[in-house]
């Protein structure tokens, strides 16, 4: 139970405090470009110590040795590999949040390393696992939930570490997914950023569709019913205009049909209101509009019957 309480406290902490607690190294600035080449005997001795401990299965000791290199010998020629080994071992131990931050330090310091792509990929995998709730407590062996703010901060870090890579729009899309079940406005803002920053990515069409769907769902409740319905209509039409050949354009057309049906139903309700108030000219106006626009079916038939009744009353 002590492990569970400790993990719960860690995951509830604000992300910037969490990251600082994870590594203790993040206040250091990265070495200037071109300076990470020095042969440092003390760093090499620590690296050898770490490798020996790693090979002997003494993972904590190896991590400690590698961490000391990053803390005290950041310019050494073995520093980048030491930081990567630290992150990798934390990763293997299941210390995924600590591993995430160690990878992050590596990525910020050692952009020229041959390990860069490997570290970026694994950091992204950890962030997505956190967002999906797939991180496990290494003590209890059960999945644990990472808070929304923490997981979206992790995804934003991945996005910002490689803004030109495919990982950036993927991470940004995942941010929208995290917020979608909790905050419509934050989800919409996240998807809109994809359209602004990564409009040509494969995530663009679905991001636009999700904006429309959120607005359409919002239109089912509250005073902003018609306003959200109009915004949803605009979003789906924008999707068809921007991404006409995507499969999401086809889905958008279906949703426009749903919106049109809701508009007609709303018009019928307004017509019925005027009919009950015996304001027949106003009611007839809406019934005629329904007859003109509605496909053959019950709604159109009901509007035609009402027009017949109004004509009979006017005779």
Which H or E run contains 42?
helix 41-55
- Note the pLDDT tens digit of each residue in 80-96: 999 999 999 999 998 98
Number of C-beta neighbours around residue 311 at 10 A: 11
Query: What local confidence, expressed as pLDDT, does residue 39 receive?
Result: 79
What is the pTM (predicted TM-score) of this model? 0.75
Number of C-beta neighbours around residue 24 at 10 A: 12
Mean pLDDT of 259-265: 86
Question: Distance between CA 20 and CA 153 in Å, rounded?
Answer: 14
Are 94 and 75 within 8 A, CB to CB? no
| Rg, the chain, Cα only | 29
Query: What local confidence, expressed as pLDDT, does residue 34 receive?
Result: 46
Question: Distance between CA 242 and CA 62 in Å, rounded?
Answer: 53
Q: What share of the chain is helix, strand, coil (3-state, %, to 5)?
A: 75, 0, 25
Which one-letter DSSP state was computed for residue 278?
T
| CA–centroid distance for 226 within its chain | 28
Which one-letter DSSP state was computed for residue 311?
H
Residues near 191 by beta carbon (within 8 Å), at least 6 away in sequence: 173, 176, 207, 208, 210, 211
Three-state DSSP state, 160: helix
- Note the pLDDT tens digit of each residue in 117-158: 999 999 999 999 988 876 765 544 445 567 888 999 999 999
Higher pLDDT, 38 or 106: 106
Mean pLDDT of 187-213: 96
């Amino acid at each position: 139970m002590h492990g569970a309480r400790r993990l719960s406290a860690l995951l509830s902490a604000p992300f910037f405090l969490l990251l600082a607690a994870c590594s203790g190294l993040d206040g250091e600035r990265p070495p200037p470009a071109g300076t990470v080449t020095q042969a440092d005997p003390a760093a090499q001795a620590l690296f050898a110590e770490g490798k020996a401990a790693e090979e002997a299965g003494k993972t904590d000791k190896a991590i400690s040795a590698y961490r000391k290199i990053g803390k005290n010998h950041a310019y050494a020629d073995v520093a980048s590999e030491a930081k990567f080994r630290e992150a990798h071992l934390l990763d293997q131990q299941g210390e995924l949040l600590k591993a995430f931050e160690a990878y992050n330090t590596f990525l910020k310091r050692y952009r020229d390393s041959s390990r860069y792509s490997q570290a970026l990929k694994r950091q992204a995998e950890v962030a997505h696992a956190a967002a999906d709730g797939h991180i496990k407590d290494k003590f209890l062996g059960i999945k644990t939930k990472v808070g929304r703010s923490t997981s979206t901060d992790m995804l934003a870090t991945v996005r910002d570490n490689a803004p030109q890579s495919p990982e950036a729009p993927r991470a940004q899309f995942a941010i929208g997914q995290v917020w979608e079940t909790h905050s419509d406005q934050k989800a919409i803002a996240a998807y809109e950023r994809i359209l602004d920053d990564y409009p040509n990515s494969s995530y663009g069409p679905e991001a636009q569709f999700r904006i429309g769907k959120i607005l359409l769902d919002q239109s089912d409740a509250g005073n902003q019913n018609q306003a959200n319905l109009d915004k949803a209509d605009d979003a789906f039409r924008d999707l068809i205009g921007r991404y006409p050949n995507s499969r999401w354009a086809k889905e958008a057309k279906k949703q426009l049909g749903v919106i049109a049906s809701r508009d007609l139903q709303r018009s019928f309700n307004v017509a019925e209101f005027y009919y009950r108030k015996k304001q027949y000219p106003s009611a007839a106006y809406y019934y005629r509009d329904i007859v003109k626009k509605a496909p053959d079916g019950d709604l159109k038939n009901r509007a035609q019957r009402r027009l017949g009744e109004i004509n009979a009353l006017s005779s």
